[in-house]
Structure 1
Amino acid sequence: MTRVIHTGDTHIGYAQYHSPVRRQDFLDAFAAVIDDAVDGDVDAVVHAGDLFHDRRPELSDLMGTISILRRLDDADIPFLAVVGNHESTRDGQWLDLFERLGLATRLGDEPTTVGDTAFYGLDHVPVSRRDDLDYAFAVHDADYAALVAHGLFEPFGYADWDTEEVLDESTVAFDAMLLGDNHTPDVAEVDGTWVTYPGSTERASASEREGRGYNLVTFDADATGGDDRAEIRRRALDTRRFVFVEVELREGEGEASVREQVRQHDLDDAVVIVDVTGDGDPVTPAAVEEFANDEGALIARVTDRREIETDDEVDVSFADPEDAVRERLDEMSLSAAADDVEEAIRADTVPDSNVRETVKRRVEERLEDPDAFDRKSGDIETSTDGDDADGAGPDETDLSNTDEADPDDADLSDTDEADPDDTDLSDTEDADSDDTDDADTDGSSAIDGQVSMEDYL
């Protein structure tokens, strides 16, 4: 029997809403996963990509990550991982650095055996390069096998990767595919193989409303029963509270009504998201945000979703200018090279005096890859969507033996003495995922990106 924690999309270094507190939250969420791994004495922690939010993590984020991985190493628990699209660099990966330090194993086409299970890895690969993949994995002599990969796989939302093709063409028969990239936790069975996402460990978007967590995966045919060879249970993480306030204004109602509805919630140290709809009077988002902050909120964002009459049809949101810019850029389907230039111009970490040189270097690095100058076709960067506003729930919920699993419900009806603290995701027939956080960078098994570690250091 082999028990592993399956996590991913930790996005360490993401200063959401430009908040240093939120930046620390992402590192703390990863630390909580590792603490659970040590306390639970699992056989390994499997990370499915996007450990970092971008290719140029701050030194504090690197040092914090190393400190956390040392705790795992001190407990003799291996950290197995692949590279995601957000963190991919050109000449080497941060994961390679951790491997050199003896703190991680980068998974690939050779098996890494833990207990009686062989683990393989598949880094994020852009759609344009997937036709060149042959899915040739080396043979193993373990009882079970799992593929860890980063990408948007069928049958989940926004999928651009054919899961059946991967399983059919692979030279190894996998009992499970442990995935990253989709921030919505979900599970499905494809050709007799369990395919699952653990979701992100922190809310990378206000639309990720359900609670955050990770998967506990057990490879043991005797324990799972029936024909299953893997059992997948979901465990919750205690992360920063998000308070979602939906305000529908009636005619004659205005800012005072919004404030009153905001006041009815516990805002202490929470990220407060207020959506205003209806037919009421105009609302000044900044004034409501200031009110929420005075009431104890860590961060407040107000979006007035009502149509504003102008000469052109414009959807205006003051919730986060950065999000608005990113949404518009996504609609433009810029090439990877253009994305590099755009990021350099707007990045807080690039001094104005260095912008010209940074842009020049990034374009030069892309010259070896003509595809980097082609506009994207259909690649979508979005965030996830959930239904549980407060994120509250049991540490684990058991969904075993359901015919059609609703991602919002935990059906315990067909279990033998189901533990209310456990969520078994293994035996769902149909699971649907809505949103993802994916950027089409050129990170892949061929390793591509913006900057080398040498340039960074």
Structure 2
Amino acid sequence: MTRVIHTGDTHIGYSQYHSPVRRQDFLDAFEAVVDDAVDDGVDAVVHAGDLFHDRRPELRDLMGTISVLRRLDDAGVPFLAVVGNHESTRGGQWLDLFERLGLATRLGDEPVVAGDTAFYGLDHVPVSRRDDLDYAFADHDAEYAALVAHGLFEPFGYADWDTETVLTESDVDFDAMLLGDNHTPDTAEVAGTWVTYPGSTERASADEREGRGYNLVVFDGDAAGGDDVVEVRRRALDTRPFVFVEVELREGEGESRVRERVREYDLTDAVVHVEITGEGDPVTPAAIEEFATERGALVPRVVDRRDVETDGDVDVSFADPEDAVRDRLDEMSLSTAARDVESAVRSDTVPDANVRETVKRRVEERLDEEADLDAFDPVGPDTETDEVGGREEEANGDEAEQEPDGDGGNDESDASDEANADEPHTGESDTDESAPDPASTDGQVSMEDYL
């Protein structure tokens, strides 16, 4: 029998809402997983990618992570992991550093045995490179086998990776696929194999309303009832409370009604999201945020979803601005990559809060592919570009970051908070901060400084 903790999408280093407290929350959640692993004496902790929120984590995040991994190592519990899209670099990976320090094992096509189960790994691979994968894995002589992978796999949300293809073309018959990237926990059976996401360990988006946690996965035919050799149990984590206050204003109601609704909740040390709908009088979001802060909220966010009505009749006639923009773009010799960025900025499918992350990821994917560097050369005016898709790191987180994160991820949707709050990243009011400010590199380190 093998018992492992399956986790992922810890996104350490994410200063959600520009809050240092929230940054610490992400490390604390990872530490809580490790605490449970040590207390339970599991055979391994299996991490399915996006350990870090950014490919250039700051020194404090690295040191904090190393400290947590040392505790796991001192307890004799191996840390087995793959590389996610958020943390992936063109050279060595941070996971390689931890492996050199004796604190982790980077999974790949060779089996790593924990208990009586062989574990293999599949790092995040951009969609454009997946046709080149041959899913060739070395043989093993363990009782069971599991593939740990980072990506958006079918049949789950935002999927762009055919799970059945992976399973049928692999040289190894897997009993389970332990996945990361999609921040929503879920389990399904594909081609006779259990496929599961543990979800993120902290809320990387206001869309992630359900409690956070991880999976305890048991490989044992008897423990699973005899019909299957895999049992997946969901375990909860005690994380930062998020409070969601929905206020539907009727005619004549306004700020006092919103305050009344906010008073109904315990806001102590919570991230608070207030959503206003209905009719009623105008409400100043900043005033409600100040009120929530006075009542103990760590981070207050208010979004007013009502249409703004104007007095009197307005008769305006003008050409379609979208047509005007397209005409002007057609006159410019933009590169394919530039047009790709432009489509992401203006796309209806990418929430405003996710534009920065979307642009960053798409440019990085092109840079990662030497064959695609021609995309940065100027081209003729009529070049066609693909529209931005709904990947997890764009729609969740990461994002996704669903993207999905996905950030699946990840990764993080809803642009309207941007109009009423001056930040976040992904999610109702989470402004992306995954790309470091080029004007300030204090505390930033590169992989080459360590390897």
- What is the aligned partner in structure 2 of residue 26 from structure 1? 26
- What is the aligned partner in structure 1 of residue 410 from structure 2? 437
Change (3 A) 1:34 1:196: same
- What is the aligned partner in structure 1 of residue 154 from structure 2? 154
- Structure 1 unaligned residues grouped into runs of 5+: 314-322, 341-361, 385-432, 440-450
- What is the aligned partner in structure 2 of residue 397 from structure 1? none
- What is the aligned partner in structure 2 of residue 352 from structure 1? none
- Output the CA distance in 1 between the equivalents of 2:72 and 2:375: 38
Deviation for aligned residue 1:19: 0.1
- What is the aligned partner in structure 2 of residue 343 from structure 1? none
- Asked if 1 retains the 8 angstrom alpha-carbon contact of 2:181 and 2:407, the reply is no
- What is the aligned partner in structure 2 of residue 410 from structure 1? none
Change (3 A) 1:243 1:194: same
- What is the aligned partner in structure 2 of residue 215 from structure 1? 215
- Output the CA distance in 2 between the equivalents of 1:29 and 1:335: 26
Q: 1:378 aligns with which of 378, 386, 389?
A: 389
- Output the CA distance in 2 between the equivalents of 1:81 and 1:75: 18
The amino acid across from 1:378 in the alignment is G
How high is the TM-score relative to the length of structure 2?
A: 0.76
Change (3 A) 1:165 1:339: closer
- Asked if 1 retains the 8 angstrom alpha-carbon contact of 2:153 and 2:163, the reply is yes
- Asked if 2 retains the 8 angstrom alpha-carbon contact of 1:336 and 1:372, the reply is no
The amino acid across from 2:409 in the alignment is T
- Asked if 2 retains the 8 angstrom alpha-carbon contact of 1:107 and 1:121, the reply is yes
- Asked if 1 retains the 8 angstrom alpha-carbon contact of 2:204 and 2:411, the reply is no
- What is the aligned partner in structure 2 of residue 453 from structure 1? 447
The amino acid across from 1:113 in the alignment is V
- What is the aligned partner in structure 2 of residue 327 from structure 1? 354
The amino acid across from 1:437 in the alignment is N
- Asked if 2 retains the 8 angstrom alpha-carbon contact of 1:366 and 1:372, the reply is no
- Output the CA distance in 1 between the equivalents of 2:387 and 2:75: 44
- Asked if 2 retains the 8 angstrom alpha-carbon contact of 1:334 and 1:376, the reply is no
- Asked if 1 retains the 8 angstrom alpha-carbon contact of 2:146 and 2:174, the reply is yes
The amino acid across from 1:436 in the alignment is G
- Output the CA distance in 1 between the equivalents of 2:205 and 2:194: 27
- Output the CA distance in 2 between the equivalents of 1:10 and 1:368: 32
Q: Which has the higher contact order (CA 8 A, sep 6+)?
A: 1
CA distances 1:313-332 after superposition (whole Å, capped 9, x unpaired): 9xxxxxxxxx96443457xx
Deviation for aligned residue 1:178: 0.1
Change (3 A) 1:435 1:454: closer
Residues paired across the two proteins, number: 366
CA distances 1:192-243 after superposition (whole Å, capped 9, x unpaired): 1000000000000011000000000000011112320110000000000001
Deviation for aligned residue 1:286: 0.8
Deviation for aligned residue 1:137: 0.4
Q: Secondary structure at the match of 2:194?
A: strand
- Output the CA distance in 1 between the equivalents of 2:57 and 2:407: 28
- What is the aligned partner in structure 1 of residue 102 from structure 2? 102
- What is the aligned partner in structure 2 of residue 69 from structure 1? 69
RMSD: 2.8
Q: Secondary structure at the match of 1:65?
A: helix
- What is the aligned partner in structure 1 of residue 431 from structure 2? none
Q: Secondary structure at the match of 2:89?
A: coil
- What is the aligned partner in structure 2 of residue 357 from structure 1? none
Paired residues for 1:1-12 under 5 Å = 1-12=1-12
Deviation for aligned residue 1:453: 1.1
- Output the CA distance in 2 between the equivalents of 1:15 and 1:335: 17
CA distances 1:64-112 after superposition (whole Å, capped 9, x unpaired): 0000000000000000000000000111100000000000000000000
Change (3 A) 1:54 1:240: same
- Output the CA distance in 2 between the equivalents of 1:176 and 1:279: 51
- Output the CA distance in 2 between the equivalents of 1:196 and 1:247: 36
Change (3 A) 1:25 1:329: closer
The amino acid across from 1:160 in the alignment is D
- Asked if 2 retains the 8 angstrom alpha-carbon contact of 1:56 and 1:456, the reply is no
The amino acid across from 1:195 in the alignment is V
CA distances 1:260-307 after superposition (whole Å, capped 9, x unpaired): 100110011111111110011111111100100001100100011112
- Output the CA distance in 1 between the equivalents of 2:362 and 2:408: 25
Deviation for aligned residue 1:378: 2.0
- What is the aligned partner in structure 1 of residue 333 from structure 2? none
Q: Secondary structure at the match of 1:221?
A: coil
Change (3 A) 1:131 1:309: farther
CA distances 1:362-419 after superposition (whole Å, capped 9, x unpaired): 97x87664287576752521228xxxxxxxxxxxxxxxxxxxxxxxxxxxxxxxxxxx
Paired residues for 1:243-282 under 5 Å = 243-282=243-282
Q: Secondary structure at the match of 1:216?
A: strand
Deviation for aligned residue 1:308: 2.7
- Output the CA distance in 1 between the equivalents of 2:411 and 2:284: 32
Q: Secondary structure at the match of 1:159?
A: coil
- Asked if 1 retains the 8 angstrom alpha-carbon contact of 2:183 and 2:407, the reply is no
Q: Secondary structure at the match of 1:266?
A: coil
- Output the CA distance in 2 between the equivalents of 1:328 and 1:265: 32
Q: Secondary structure at the match of 1:245?
A: strand
- What is the aligned partner in structure 1 of residue 58 from structure 2? 58
The amino acid across from 1:39 in the alignment is D
The amino acid across from 1:165 in the alignment is T
- Output the CA distance in 2 between the equivalents of 1:139 and 1:337: 36
Change (3 A) 1:372 1:259: farther
- Output the CA distance in 1 between the equivalents of 2:70 and 2:26: 18
- Asked if 1 retains the 8 angstrom alpha-carbon contact of 2:56 and 2:446, the reply is no
- Asked if 2 retains the 8 angstrom alpha-carbon contact of 1:335 and 1:376, the reply is no
